[in-house]
Structure 1
């Protein structure tokens, strides 16, 4: 039996202090500015206890020809979609700024589900989480 303690990527974590919040937000925004320019209109980064949530807002792709029997006008639809976030991911903090747990939002289940990073690891950086989620959502 091993004496090595293993982190569970789906539980636990450490409350994120203000310094880590600030640094993490800067890292995510810097990566987004350098690598995802034009793929979103705004990123929303928020922290709660041990979690960092990242959402994106995009300009909706709406056809010029709008159905007359649709329950909202084309302009109302565009405005609603502009203000509806795309839940990109949630990070779980364990005390190491380069080893966060990752969860993607499941619209089918209406919650966040633990995921792995592209390299197969359960823990990784905020930048890799953003790169991965942008590939799916943006």
Structure 2
């Protein structure tokens, strides 16, 4: 599997942070960390709790990432589908999907 170049990592981090500020005020911050071809996104809640949200898989394109949701019940990530039915999409779509679940906001799953 390809690993994202540094420019793609920086772009992804910027886009995730911007989307979190724009759409998810219940998060005080988000953390994006990279390991191989994966990017792991974790949110921080106002009480200091950290919540793993999702894992993105780089497939060679900066705007298209494979999506895996974090399953708290299993304490692991599981490949999943975004609300539009695709297993891959933008980082913003992935963040919205995961936050819709963990921040209890089903409006995140409606597509425009």
Same fold (TM over 0.5): yes
Which residue in the other structure is 2:63 paired with? Answer: 98
Q: Which has the higher contact order (CA 8 A, sep 6+)?
A: 1
TM-score (norm 2): 0.86
The structure 2 residue matched to 1:45, chosen from 20, 32, 36, is 32
Q: Which has the larger radius of gyration?
A: 1
Report what 1:14 is aligned to.
Answer: 2
- Using the size of structure 1 for normalisation, the TM-score is 0.71
How many residues were matched structurally? 103
Give the structure with the larger strand fraction. Answer: 2
Unaligned segments of structure 2, at least 5 residues: 104-112
Q: What is the root-mean-square deviation of aligned Cα atoms in Å?
A: 1.1
Which residues of structure 1 form unaligned runs of 5+?
1-12, 61-81
CA drift of 1:132 comes to: 0.8
Spell out structure 1 runs of 4+ moving beyond 3 A.
Answer: none
